[in-house]
């Protein structure tokens, strides 16, 4: 880490590429796996990484990006906590001639000239996958009540996972989302909203759709405390496919999880190197992902790396 005031001049630095990475926080297992992947991949690629974490706060991320500009890093990458409000600081990076890569989450307005590429998942498709799993369950009930545990307000994955899910269930009048609130992608947040939902709707709840596994795990606790059986009385589908989610599926408490791959480090370092070598990058690099369910959790778990 470079301390303010004694930054070495660019030409005195090692010939290594210097990458400033602003991580949005450490709110979930997904995020922790993502941070580890980025650190490992930088080491492996011989890239000097300056890694700052922001506690899910946009102002802290903006501050981090500004510090990278001041230090004169070669490349900036960041995972934007919310979609909007980045234009000013990205203009500053542009003025300084430092290319910016988006990792994991997208930004809006989508001004293509403010970043070189976006490496991440298709969150809209993840929402659709969760809904498709649900409608294919053929639940023998006339009316199925769904509780939606949303991620961080205004974040790309929360917006798109909601939209994708809604798009599919709109074709199946059997399903309605009766309650929806943000749990900020944390286990504690998921537990809290689920508790609130149970207090209002009790055993009228049939399904929980959580925008990530951590919130689903929180919901599992709330459901058990309420005296119902998660995975049986209330079906639960979530997103990420972390090791903890697999354990919950093996215990029969979680029914399905849609994969969202956090191991973006190698692709990110590849993109950084290509950029520094002057190669043109595609605007969008999508990671490939699947869906897992309780039925095959035991076999699938053998291959999990996060």
- Contact residues toward ligand GYE (CB under 6 A) are 27-28, 30-31, 104-105, 157, 185, 212, 214, 239-240, 260
In 183-222, the DSSP E strands lie at: 207-210
Judged by beta carbon, residue 17 or residue 131, the one nearer ligand GYE is 131
Burial (Cβ within 10 Å: 0-12, 13-18, ≥19) of residue 171: exposed
Q: Cα–Cα distance between 76 and 98 in angstroms, integer?
A: 7
CB 31 → ligand GYE: shortest distance, Å? 5
CB 40 → ligand GYE: shortest distance, Å? 18
CB 159 → ligand GYE: shortest distance, Å? 11
Burial 79-96 (b: 16+ CB within 10 A, else e): bbbbbebbeebbeebeee
Q: Cα–Cα distance between 271 and 204 in angstroms, integer?
A: 49
Percent composition of the chain: helix, strand, coil (DSSP 3-state, to 5):
45, 20, 35
CB 39 → ligand GYE: shortest distance, Å? 17
Q: Cα–Cα distance between 59 and 73 in angstroms, integer?
A: 20
Judged by beta carbon, residue 72 or residue 266, the one nearer ligand GYE is 266
Judged by beta carbon, residue 74 or residue 238, the one nearer ligand GYE is 238
Judged by beta carbon, residue 144 or residue 242, the one nearer ligand GYE is 242
CB 271 → ligand GYE: shortest distance, Å? 18
Judged by beta carbon, residue 201 or residue 306, the one nearer ligand GYE is 306
């Amino acid at each position: 880490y470079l301390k303010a005031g004694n930054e070495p001049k660019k030409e005195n630095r090692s010939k290594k590429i210097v990458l400033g990475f602003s991580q949005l926080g450490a709110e979930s297992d997904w995020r922790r796996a993502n941070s580890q992947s980025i650190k490992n991949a930088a080491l492996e690629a011989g890239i000097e990484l300056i890694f700052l974490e922001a506690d899910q706060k946009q102002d802290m991320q903006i501050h981090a990006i500004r510090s990278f500009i001041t230090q004169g890093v070669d490349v900036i990458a960041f995972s934007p906590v919310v979609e909007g409000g980045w234009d000013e600081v990205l203009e500053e990076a542009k003025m300084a001639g430092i290319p910016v890569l988006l990792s994991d989450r997208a930004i809006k307005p989508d001004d293509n000239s403010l970043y070189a590429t976006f490496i991440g998942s298709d969150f809209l498709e993840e929402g659709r996958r969760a809904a498709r799993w649900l409608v294919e369950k053929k639940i023998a009930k006339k009316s199925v009540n769904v509780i939606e545990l949303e991620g961080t307000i205004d974040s790309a994955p929360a917006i798109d996972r909601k939209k994708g899910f809604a798009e599919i269930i709109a074709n199946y009048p059997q399903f309605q989302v009766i309650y929806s609130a943000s749990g900020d992608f944390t286990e504690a947040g998921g537990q809290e909203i689920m508790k609130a939902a149970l207090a209002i709707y009790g055993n009228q709840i049939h399904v929980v759709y959580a925008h990530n596994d951590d919130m689903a795990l929180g919901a599992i606790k709330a459901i058990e405390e309420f005296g119902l059986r998660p995975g049986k009385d209330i079906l639960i589908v979530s997103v990420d496919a972390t090791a903890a989610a697999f354990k919950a599926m093996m215990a029969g408490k979680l029914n399905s999880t849609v994969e969202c791959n956090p191991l973006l480090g190698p692709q990110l370092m590849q993109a950084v190197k290509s950029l520094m070598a002057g190669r043109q990058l595609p605007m969008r690099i999508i990671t490939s992902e699947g869906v897992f369910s309780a039925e095959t959790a035991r076999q699938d778990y053998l291959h999990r790396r996060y």
